[in-house]
A and B are shown apart, each in its own frame.
Chain A
Amino acid sequence: MKWIDYESPHSVREAVDLLNEAGDRARPLAGGTDLLVQLRAKAYDLDLVVDAKNIPELNELTYDPDNGLTIGAAVACYRIYGNSSVRSVYPGIVDAASLIGGTQIQGRASLGGNLCNAAPSADSVPPMIAYNGVARISGPNGSREVALEDFCTGVRQTVLERGEILVSLHFPTPEANSGANYIRFIPRNEMDIAVAGAGVSVVLDNGSIASARVTLASVAPTPLFVAEAGEAIAGKPATEETARIASAIARDAARPITDMRGTIEYRKRLCEVLTRRALMTAIERAKEN
């Protein structure tokens, strides 16, 4: 690797100034589990990495029923699944945080990094979209919020502009009688990249689906939010038959490619099966709430 400078600012302001000055010659560093691999592979040509882990706002992990959940952009997976509020209120996020890499990767990898890396296969993004997550961004012109389904714009491309940094991810408190789930398919039991994945949430009302959200991984250039799949089952009974309606729509919406991990046909079929199964788990979880 060529010479790269390292800065470790202690405030969002300082980080924004450093990133703004260097433009595309600098990137933030969270857990480094994508960035350091990519720097070695020369995917980026940088002069500076800006370590985000010493900025207090990026390490925040707080939940309360009135304000919802805030996950600082640099909080590592182990802190997320180790937090009892997140475990009980946002199990769909825990599903993803506990299957990213293995123990060592989870000691470092953040959901902010997973999102900003903008891989189609990013496991945490579908469930974060299912929970109506919002990205809180700071930059040279102040702060803004972007819904997570609008954050990734292409493979390794996001809405972030020069000098902007993701500060945190925010999630409203789920409604009563709601549940969520993320599952993926990989050929091994762990440590692999999703061939396809489905992150879903449902809100139940007297045994019917009041609303639902479905997002797919690894079957489009970005995580794919399939609004129609959720809309089509609103008002229908919370049954397997209803889940099949949504999963057929998810299958048809998927735009995968054929590569060494699977063909287009195979991945579309996986979307159908994974969406149905994830919906059934989310419904079960909603009934327990």
Chain B
Amino acid sequence: MPAKTYVQTIINGEHVDLLCEPRQSLLEALRDVVGLTGTKEGCNDGNCGACTVEFDGRIVTSCLVLGVEAEGKEITTIEGVAQGSELHPIQQAFLENAALQCGICTPGFIVASKALLEQNPDPTEHEIRFWLANNLCRCTGYDKIVRAVQDAAVKMQEA
């Protein structure tokens, strides 16, 4: 078996060194090598957004990034969203608005919504739906998710 590659990254603010196979996706590296299983696999081909993470300042589907591409990059996963035991306002809003049922899509939606509100603190409903078009949910019908993001936007602006 050829050698694995040594990759140095910053994940959720901490230096993390990992060994991964060049063919492994960032999603697999996060889940199977680093043990951060909050990031979910749905389709494994870029369509569902369950594997969304922030990578080098942009949200990406981690199933379509190679683990070895993470060399020198900063990554934020769902595990990096809460502050210790205090939930992020978006997480709180998802709970209060019942914006999840089975929850498999939720980490991806929260990471994507956080990136939206950081660059557009007061998005319209249209902007929210358009930004989240790369995230699929089979359970909620989306309305509750959109309402949760609107609710979080209001609370984050008040804070």
Contact = CB atoms under 8 A, between A and B. Distances in A.
Interface stretch (A100-108, A138-146, A251-259): A100-108
A1 B64 CA distance: 13
Q: How large is the interface on B (under 10, 10 to 19, 20 to 34, 35 or more residues)?
A: 20 to 34
Given A102-B133, A190-B133, A107 B60 contact: yes
B133 A108 contact: no
Contact of B131 (A2, A103, A105): A103
A101 B23 contact: no
Contacts of A176: none
Interface stretch (B11-19, B33-41, B44-52, B145-153): B44-52
Interface stretch (A3-11, A15-23, A84-92): A3-11
Interface in A7-48: 8, 29, 31-33, 36-37, 39-40
A190 B130 CA distance: 8
Q: How large is the interface on A (under 10, 10 to 19, 20 to 34, 35 or more residues)?
A: 20 to 34
B21 interface: yes
A185 interface: no
A190 B23 CA distance: 30
A114 to B, nearest CB: 14
Nearest to A108: B60
A3 B2 contact: yes
A104 B66 contact: no
Interface of B: 1-2, 5, 21-23, 25, 44-47, 49, 52, 55, 58-61, 63-66, 68-69, 71, 112, 115-116, 130-135
Interface of A: 1-6, 8, 29, 31-33, 36-37, 39-40, 49, 51, 53, 76, 78, 101-105, 107-108, 189-191
